[in-house]
Structure 1
Amino acid sequence: MTVFLLRRLAGLAVVLLVASFLVYGLLYLVPGGPMAFLLGNRSGTPEQIAAIRAQYHLDDPFLVRYATWLGDAVRGDFGSSLVYRQDVSALMSARAATTTFLVGYSTVLIVVVGVAAGTLAGLRRGRVDNVVSAVSSAFLATPTFVIGVVLVIVFALGLGWFPVFGPGEGFGGRLYHLTLPAITLSLGSAAFLARITRASVREELGREHVETARSRGLAESLVIRRHVLRNASIPVITVTGLTVASLIAGSVVVENVFALDGLGSLFVRAILQRDFAVVQAVVLVLVTAFVLVNLVVDLCYKALDPRMSR
């Protein structure tokens, strides 16, 4: 297990290194380079341009600048925001809790609803299967922002069950305020996971080892739990991992619909305001989160089937 984990960590470190190089380097490929971001709409005098180049070490070789930036990023220092005139790390930490809670809440809903509905549809043919398939198809075909607007109109403005804006305070307050955003973010992914779970369960039910277990007189509940659900969980974990990673990007839309001040909304504003330090930091954090999610998926594979580590 230790060798497997070290091998995965080494591979992920390489991925993060390449991703950080791309994140830092791509902004230097835009017309005008970093000076276009630093000057904004101003032309700048030669003295101002020289001062800016000296402040941001733009006259140093590119690899030297990248190494300095990467070293600071590893220590949690992403520089200062050009727009907010604040430390980028402080800006992100103030908003990371909202995005983390939203993604975590949505993940729980996706796993519980998606796996339960898909398993039920896979085990019970007929009306249950038809209902789950129809509902999942409807949610998959509906854009996230449409679901969010409908939920706000019905459950916030119409019935008054949930607040419209804000992330809330404390665990209970966040749970209450982020219920509608989490449902909005999770419905489409839960529907997709339900379809994958249904197909995987159906496939396992038709395998020979399941028929053999039944012929040996094992209880149906034991056959389902040990021989069907365990093997069916491997593709489900794959889809769950990719889905959770995509939630981080999908939260941008939901945060804007519900006026949540999270990393997604900060990222959108940074792009519009050409705040390149914030853009670099948020992208690097999102890539890191995606890589860590994939590491968790690999560890789940190892726990379910040790042969996958060979």
Structure 2
Amino acid sequence: MFQFIVRRLLQIIPVLIGVTILVFSLMHLSPGNPAHIIAGESAPPATVEQIEERLGLNDPIPVQYFNFVKDAALLDFGNSWRTSLPVSEELWPKFWVTFELAVYSTIFSIFLGLIAGIISAVRKYSFADVSIMLIALFGLSMPNFWFGLMLMQWFSIQLGWLPPTGWGTPEQVIMPVITLGTMGAAVIARMTRSSMLDVISQDYIRTARAKGLGERIVIYRHALKNALIPVVTVIGLQFGSLLAGAVLTESVFAINGMGKLIVDRILARDFPVVQAAVLVIAVVFVFVNLLVDISYKYLNKRIDLD
């Protein structure tokens, strides 16, 4: 196990290098001069040149990239070009908001998706199975922003039960979590059903039933544990996608998180903030996948990670 973790941590290095190259290239290839945006459209050329010199935009591209990687390795992302505040002061409060939203949405997805998938697999081709799969298909096809607006219309405007926007109180958490977690629940439900049906047909499940074990013990202790391996993979990918793709949900519910920060700073060509935000999301995504791989060993002792 230790060798596996060390090997995976070493594999993170080229992944992060690739991420830094990609985000650095995309930001510098995007149209618009950050110095012009900071100085204003009517600023004289001398002012623009002074800003470019101060920000290091006059340096060769390889030098700019080297400085970016060097500072990132030291966890020093510099100051925002838009506000002149340290990037960490702007990034971390918004990161934790989005991280909480992703965690709560993932928990909601796991809880709802596992229950629905197990019921659907155990009652294959029944009315419950068909209904759950139709609802899951609807959940996969439904745009998050539309579902969020519908929830806001029903529970905030018509019923007045929940606040329409914001983040922090339990009442404000409910609708964004349901909005963001519904699609994940649909994916987990479909994957759980498929994996459970494959495991239930195995010989050792028939043997467990033949020994007289109760159906619940057979399903939850023997079948579910082995069926969770592909489901856990999906959960890890879902968490990463929620962390990186919550911008629409945050916009609908006016949540001041990472998604809104990245979009605003891309438009402002605030390179340090955007590069730091994408790099942080990539690091979290990689470590989540590492935890998913480690969990395989605990779900199935026969898997040799080393």
Instruction: Output the TM-score relative to the length of structure 2.
Output: 0.91
Q: Is the 8 A contact 2:78 2:87 kept in 1?
A: yes
Q: Which residue of 2 aligns with 1:72?
A: 71
- After TM superposition, the runs of 4+ consecutive aligned structure 1 residues lying more than 6 A away are none
Once the two structures are TM-superposed, the CA of residue 140 in structure 1 deviates from its matched residue by 1.6
In the alignment, what sits opposite 1:29? 29
State the Cα distance separating 1:191 from its structure 2 match: 1.1
- Give yes or no for contact 1:76–1:89 (8 Å, CA) kept in 2: no
Aligned residue number for residue 182 of structure 1: 177
Task: State whether residues 156 and 162 of structure 1, in contact with CA within 8 Å, keep that contact through their aligned partners in structure 2.
Answer: yes
Which one-letter code corresponds to 1:28 in the other structure?
H
Residue in 1 aligned with 2:35? 38
Deviation at 1:77, TM superposition (A): 2.5
Question: Does the Cα contact within 8 Å between 2:35 and 2:52 map onto a contact in 1?
Answer: no
Q: State the alpha-carbon separation in 2 of the partners of residues 188 and 113 from structure 1.
A: 11
Bigger shift: residues 216-225 or 84-93 = 216-225
After superposition, give the CA deviation of every residue in 1:172-197 in whole Å (9 maximum; x if it has no partner): x2x32111001000111101110110
- Percent identity over the alignment is 39
Cα distance in structure 2, aligned partners of 1:24 and 1:111: 35
- Structure 2 CA distance, aligned partners of 1:46 and 1:157? 51
The more displaced of 194-203 and 270-279 is 270-279
Instruction: Determine if contact 2:35/2:48 at 8 Å carries over to the other structure.
Output: no
5 Å-filtered alignment, 1:162-173, equals 162-168=162-168, 173=169
CA distance in 1: counterparts of 2:239 and 2:102, whole angstroms: 7
**Which of these residues, 260, 282, 302, is aligned with residue 255 of structure 2?**
260
Does residue 108 in structure 1 map to residue 107 in structure 2? yes
How far did residue 42 of structure 1 move? Answer: 3.7
Counterpart code for 1:242: L
Match of 1:3 in 2: 3
Structure 1 residue runs of 5 or longer lacking an equivalent are none
Residue in structure 2 matched with residue 278 of structure 1 by the alignment: 273
Residue 151 of structure 1, CA deviation: 0.3
Q: CA deviation at 1:284?
A: 1.4
Q: CA RMSD in A?
A: 2.0
Conserved 8 A contact 1:210-1:227: yes
Counterpart-to-counterpart distance in 1, 2:183 and 2:134? 13
Shift of 1:272: 2.2
The alpha carbon displacement at 1:26 in A equals 2.9
Letter matched to residue 251 of structure 2: N
* Displacement after TM superposition at 1:218 (Å): 3.2
Partner of 2:290: 295
> 1:60 deviation in Å?
4.0
Of 37-46 and 268-277, more deviation after overlay is shown by 37-46
Give the gaps of 5 or more residues in structure 2. Answer: none
| Residues 99-108 or 120-129, more deviating | 120-129
The one-letter amino acid paired with 1:100 is F
Q: Deviations over 1:49-80 (max 9, x none)?
A: 54334323345443333232223223333222
TM-score under structure 1 length normalisation: 0.90
C-alpha displacement at 1:136, in angstroms?
Answer: 1.2
Distance 1:82 1:185 in 2: 31
Instruction: Report the CA distance between 1:128 and its aligned residue.
Output: 1.7
Could you tell me how far apart the structure 2 residues matched to 1:211 and 1:79 are?
A: 61
Q: Deviations over 1:259-289 (max 9, x none)?
A: 1111111111112222222221221122122
Q: Are the equivalent residues in 2 in contact too, given 1:38–1:82 (CA < 8 A)?
A: no
Cα distance in 2 for residues equivalent to 1:27 and 1:140: 32
Task: Note the C-alpha offset of 1:85.
Answer: 3.0
User: Matched residues in 2 for 1:260 and 1:38: separation?
Assistant: 29
**Partner residue of 1:148?**
148
SS at match of 1:309: coil
| Cα pair 2:98 2:257 within 8 Å, conserved | yes
Q: Read off the aligned partner of 1:157 and give its amino acid letter.
A: I
Deviations, residues 81-100 of structure 1 (Å, cap 9, x unaligned): 23233222211123222211
Contact 1:118–1:198 (CA<8 Å) still a contact in 2? yes
Distance in 2 (alpha carbons) for counterparts of 1:31 and 1:138 = 38
Structure 2 residue 250 is matched with structure 1 residue 250: no
Aligned AA (2:61): F
Q: Secondary structure at the residue paired with 2:245?
A: helix
Secondary structure (helix, strand or coil) at the match of 1:178 reads: helix
Contact 2:27–2:269 (CA<8 Å) still a contact in 1?
no
